[in-house]
Amino acid sequence: MRTTGLAIACALAVSLAACAPEPLPLPSELVGVWKTSSPRYAERSFEVRADWVIFGTGRNTLTMHELARVEPGAGSDGATKEWTPYRIVYRAESGDEQAIEILFRTRGGRALRFAHRDEIWTPAAAAAQEG
């Protein structure tokens, strides 16, 4: 009986792991510093590096987190031709994994949006030229 319970638990663990999104290699188009012209996020930035996710939270203030992986975002199977969803998973200070959902614009110049937000973020050099 105990063996049967263990076999069921193992089968459940394997099936749950199979349902998890497959990690992606870090898309090179996401790498870099991103800024928005929205006054609400003045002096804020978002940066993606090969091993880090960095949030610029104010003048000369950064919060760095180890990048764990990049996954297809919610609705990837129904991605529009203009926006591709990604889920960026990083490690918080506590060691727990946290994630942010972004949409990357695939046409009309590099840009991204955080899921459920309207502000457009562009590469820092492009944002400086707009402002």
Segments of 1-131 assigned E as strands: 32-36, 45-48, 52-58, 61-72, 83-91, 97-105, 111-114, 121-123
* pLDDT at residue 119, rounded to an integer: 96
Mean pLDDT of 10-26: 57
Mean pLDDT of 30-56: 96
- Cβ atoms of residues 68 and 100 within 8 Å: no
- What phi-psi label fits residue 120: left (phi over 0), alpha (psi between -120 and 50 degrees) or beta? beta
The confidence band for 103, taking pLDDT boundaries of 50, 70 and 90, is very high
Residue 4 scores a pLDDT above 70: no
The confidence band for 60, taking pLDDT boundaries of 50, 70 and 90, is confident
* pLDDT at residue 73, rounded to an integer: 86
Angle at 73 between CA 21 and CA 123, to 5 degrees: 130
The CA distance from 91 to 21, in Å, is: 18
The reported pTM is 0.74
- Cβ atoms of residues 32 and 47 within 8 Å: yes
* pLDDT at residue 76, rounded to an integer: 58
